[in-house]
Amino acid sequence: MSKANVRRHILEKNKLLKEKEKPAPNILSKHLKRVYPIGLQRSSSSFSLSSLSLSLSQNSNDSSLTDCSTPLAHKISLALRLIAPHERREAPVDKNLQQQSQETDAGELKRCNWITKNSDSAYVAFHDECWGVPVYDDNPLFELLAMSGMLMDYNWTEILKRRELLREAFAGFDPNIVAKMGEQEIEEITSNKELMVAESRVRCIVDNAKCVLKIVREFGSFGSYMWGYVNHKPVINRYRYPRNVPLRTPKAEAMSKDLIKHGFRLVGPVIVYSFMQAAGLTIDHLVDCYRHSECVGLAERPWRHI
């Protein structure tokens, strides 16, 4: 054999040895690129499994990852299962922890965000004792509807601070008595500087009382008529932020139209929804407010026919 042939033989043999020592292509990495398109991130020593786990969980709906129709796909599937995070099981809700979340750092009960340290005590008491509590009797419902109508001129705090005076002036908001008020009674209420209710508003309350009596004759009670709009069961909402609480809803709009049809005044959709919130036809306490669960408990009681 010539020297040239010997040299060529040695070169070909070395080439074959190098090809045998060359590592096989990483098939797993090739397929992982589909589920982790931004590439695997390396730390100083190993892959970032936390970022990989996130990617896998986000792509868990990809049916191609679970197709084991071929041996190669089966091996890839097994490899993915080894590095995928274990399925998490939600721990049962601890009522004590839930109650703690409804308390502030100072140990006080957590209320809806619109109740602040500067809120008037009358407003706080209304939130804690009345707002969202289902009301069924005719007189309290008529009172809340009249007070909601006053929101055209005042806010809840200003109205609530005069609540007892208003009850005294309007005979406990008994529609049977208010409907019979004449010019003298209307003038006395209007001239009361502590009440600060305009004559047009007083006449509106008197006229609405007459409408309540018509409703009673037609439906049996004012409560049955009002609660019929929510199928005699409070609407339970689970809002987290004040911005989620609406000013009006389709139910409030429907109720507003029908009230106007029956002759009521100062009953626009926004006023009607404020009435629904106050009378507990809808529960809009924020979910982290301590009153939410309490009002929901009251709302889940069987309907009490009047």
> Is 127 marked as a binding-site residue?
yes
The model's confidence at residue 304, banded by pLDDT at 50, 70 and 90, is low
**pLDDT value for 220:** 95
**pLDDT value for 8:** 64
Using an 8 Å Cβ cutoff, are 175 and 139 in contact?
yes
With CA atoms as reference, report the closest residue to 285 among 243, 232, 240: 240
**pLDDT value for 107:** 63
Using an 8 Å Cβ cutoff, are 126 and 277 in contact?
no
The model's confidence at residue 299, banded by pLDDT at 50, 70 and 90, is confident
> Is 86 marked as a binding-site residue?
no
Using an 8 Å Cβ cutoff, are 251 and 235 in contact?
yes
What single letter denotes the amino acid at residue 45?
Answer: S
User: CATH 1.10.340.30: does it fit domain 121-300?
Assistant: yes
With CA atoms as reference, report the closest residue to 121 among 133, 113, 109, 129: 129
> Is 285 marked as a binding-site residue?
yes
Helices (H) and strands (E) in the chain, counts: 16, 2
With CA atoms as reference, report the closest residue to 99 among 291, 276, 260: 291
Both structure tokens of 37: 């398109």
* Spatial separation of the C-alpha atoms in residues 180 and 183, rounded to whole Å: 10
> Is 211 marked as a binding-site residue?
no
More confident residue, 45 or 275: 275
pLDDT tens string 7-58: 666 666 666 665 555 555 554 444 433 333 333 333 333 333 333 222 333 3
Domain residue limits, the chain: 121-300
**pLDDT value for 36:** 31
pLDDT tens string 213-235: 999 999 999 999 999 999 999 99
**pLDDT value for 72:** 54
